Structure 1
Amino acid sequence: MSAGANNALVSFDNIGIAFDGRTLLSDINMTIHKGEIVTLIGPNGSGKSTLIRTLLGLQQATSGRIQRHAQLRIGYMPQKLHIDPTLPLSVNHFLGLVKGVKKQDIPAVLTRLGINKLANKQVHFLSGGETQRVLLARALLNRPSLLVLDEPVQGVDVNGQIELYNLIASIRDELGCGVLMISHDLHLVMAKTDTVVCINQHVCCSGSPQHVKEHPEYQALFGVPGAEDSIAIYSHHHDHTHDEHGKVMPNDSHSHCNH
């Protein structure tokens, strides 16, 4: 995708964040363009959530600046849904709580995500995959120019993860929006990502998924993939399973992956 200035939705320019005398992030440079899927990866404690909080305006940068497109609209999908299980709350009601949402828009979004049958289901009875699609629906109701997805496949099995990544890519194609995804694992997102930015308090490496996968700093943080090429995971036809590390297992194995 071309990276013209007019296509830039958000630019992080030398962002640094320190708190209580501790440096959380330093010299972060990153740009997200219209129609581009950017995946932000890094180990636990690397500063991914801190950077997103800064993008969302929930935290101030200590140094540098964030430049936002004048018409930027962010649709945010949190990692988890925290709702009191004793609170009776249907999916329709939950989505209707989104600020500025038009209730007549809800059915179309649910249908687009294949979850229209969940409209009257209680939120706390949803499965992991259903919950993630409802959270995605909530983000889409803002008609975003930028989707910010925090671990969007949390609690979803491997097949469900692949379906969700395919869905996110098709939504990008339809809306022409930018997408910023946070992930701890590059393996499953590679085929649906344009640009990867690997951080560990600073930008370790960035570029195409293949470039990052082969970068020494990425390999030092995450290890070198096994005998099977990680990219191949996305093109499989469900004729095998994966162990807890994403490694392809033979057909007769009962191992599976729950990220």
Structure 2
Amino acid sequence: MTDDALIRADHLTVTLDAHPVLSDVTLAIRPGEIVTILGPNGSGKSTLLRALLGILPATRGRVTRRAGLGIGYVPQRLAIDRTLPMTVRRFLSLPARVADAAAAAALARVGLPDVAQRQMADLSGGQFQRVLLARALLSQPQLLVLDEPTQGLDQPGEAAFYRLIEEVRRETGVAVLMVSHDLHVVMAASDRVICLNGHICCEGTPRVVSTAPEYRALFGLGTQGALALYQHVHDHSHDAGGQGHAHPRHAHDHDHADSHGHHHA
């Protein structure tokens, strides 16, 4: 690991209610890279995010953030009271007032230039996530943290959101740390994929699926794959209690599989 990291964990262990949730996790997020953390429910993904953000203290080890690091956060779920009037424009100014020009630019950046006066409760799932992303981008962060941002979206919606994240990274240089519980779907632009189950089991680089006609038909990939579906090869077990059996951590490639599990050379 180099010293240019935006945020890093060194031998991070977090214990909650005398139960070890994370054990000896070491990782770093560097400027401009996209890192996806995968793991089943109960694997410690949310705990890791909260520890990295400084919300949870480390039991052992430490978390280091670059001085003055700006972080934009897109939560997993955000409950909006549907009986409470709340326009998109007003939502973008919570908790701090945002200028109209900045709000308009952020909405345009996420592909929603005409929703400012729409009610938050009336947005589709995909539009809602894009508004959350617009709000996260308003502070011009160096790091975007996305907690399962495509949960509840269908595959075309998921692919479109991943394409948007890739565009934002390309245009702004923001680093992206994304968490997902789907072990088989990863954003093609991810520079690294880390599999977490209480500890880091393994990590590798997903290869972009570019030749399978099924993907082009579904997602219109063109020359740049927006969604990489691959079969994750586990060299470890995932116990229901989240206590993985430790195996040597290593980088590896993954076999590609389409949505029906068919492998492509």
Which interval holds the TM-score relative to the shorter structure?
0.7 to 0.9
Superposition map of 1:1-259 within 5 A: 4-6=2-4, 8-99=5-96, 101-209=98-206, 213-217=232-236, 220-221=237-238, 231=256, 233=258, 246-247=259-260
In 2: Cα distance, 1:232 partner to 1:200 partner: 23
In 2: Cα distance, 1:248 partner to 1:13 partner: 36
Per-residue deviation, 1:209: 2.7
In 2: Cα distance, 1:186 partner to 1:45 partner: 13
Per-residue deviation, 1:160: 1.0
CA RMSD between the two structures: 2.3
Aligned length: 226
In 1: Cα distance, 2:153 partner to 2:173 partner: 26
- Tell me, what secondary structure is at the counterpart of 2:6? strand
In 1: Cα distance, 2:3 partner to 2:53 partner: 21
Percent of counterpart pairs with the same letter? 49
Contact 1:196 1:212 in 2 (8 A): no
- Tell me, what secondary structure is at the counterpart of 1:147? strand
Residues 73-116 of structure 1, C-alpha deviations (whole Å, 9 max, x = no match): 10000011212111100000000114364443000110111112
Per-residue deviation, 1:214: 3.5
Contact 2:147 2:178 in 1 (8 A): yes
Closer, same or farther: CA 182–76 of 1 in aligned 2, 3 Å: same
TM-score normalized with structure 1 length: 0.81
Closer, same or farther: CA 29–100 of 1 in aligned 2, 3 Å: farther
In 1: Cα distance, 2:137 partner to 2:256 partner: 28
Per-residue deviation, 1:5: 2.5
- Tell me, what secondary structure is at the counterpart of 2:114? helix
In 2: Cα distance, 1:186 partner to 1:140 partner: 27
In 2: Cα distance, 1:172 partner to 1:221 partner: 32
The structure richer in helix per residue is: 1
Closer, same or farther: CA 159–53 of 1 in aligned 2, 3 Å: same
Contact 2:146 2:176 in 1 (8 A): yes
- Tell me, what secondary structure is at the counterpart of 2:151? coil
Structure 1, unpaired ranges of 5+: 223-228, 234-245, 250-259
- Tell me, what secondary structure is at the counterpart of 2:132? helix
- Tell me, what secondary structure is at the counterpart of 1:16? strand
Residues 117-159 of structure 1, C-alpha deviations (whole Å, 9 max, x = no match): 1111100111111111011111111211000001111221101
Name whichever of 48-57 and 93-102 sits farther off.
93-102
- Tell me, what secondary structure is at the counterpart of 1:118? coil
Q: Which residue of 1 aligns with 2:224?
A: none
Contact 2:184 2:231 in 1 (8 A): no
Contact 2:231 2:257 in 1 (8 A): no
